Amino acid sequence: MMHLTDNKGYYEDQEVQVLELGYFESQVSMTIILPKVKNGLQNVLRGMNGQKLLTLVESVSSKAVIIELPKFKMENSFNLNDALLKLGLSEAFSDNADFSKMTGTRVKISEVVHKSFIK
H/E/C letters for each residue in the chain? CEEEEEEEEEEECCCEEEEEEECCCCCCEEEEEEECCCCCHHHHHHCCCHHHHHHHHHHCEEEEEEEEECCCCEEEEEECHHHHHHCCCHHHHCCCCCCCCCCCCCCCCCCCEEEEEEC
> Per-residue pLDDT tens for 99-113?
999 998 999 999 999
> Per-residue pLDDT tens for 28-75?
899 999 999 999 999 999 999 999 999 999 999 999 999 999 999 999
Q: What is this structure's pTM?
A: 0.72
Domains in the chain with CATH codes: 2-69 (2.30.39.10), 74-118 (no CATH)
